[in-house]
Chains A and B, each alone.
Chain A
């Protein structure tokens, strides 16, 4: 079977939808954060496949930026979730109810 651009895009769209579903449905902060990373990587896959099939390297360069920024985001994000866990002893979103009106 020949693997074309549309196959890559279908996988990318599927990953993105899975990630979004995870963010909306799951209740654990760490799993939500994993799903967010899945969404970013879905976009990376789309960028790389477009770039490769169009013979245009711009997209692949952008992917390098996205990967490095995502790494910085994960470093900050996990530190934040750990700090919250130490204080609150939970990583469930239902328990984040200090501020309400």
Chain B
């Protein structure tokens, strides 16, 4: 529902990194979106399209990698990948409560592909 504001935060991070690394033109941005992040990948893609129609990041490609949900059982410690986000019986002991999420909560920018001139001096101390 608030994917547009998430994209706005992403754009400001990207602009910071662009300046920091002396990037000329950004070609592609890769984002990792976990199954439990609350952000819907399709809505992120749509928000990105809307907010990069013009301006300095016009036409930059957004690539979204969906990170699967992985948990460790709260009772027996078995790691497993639940099929359902809300009801997660452990395949080994059947416990449904108290699991620790090891993957799936994340939403982060993993990498940026850009033209960086040879003399593009990375700024320091940012």
User: Do A and B associate with each other?
Assistant: no
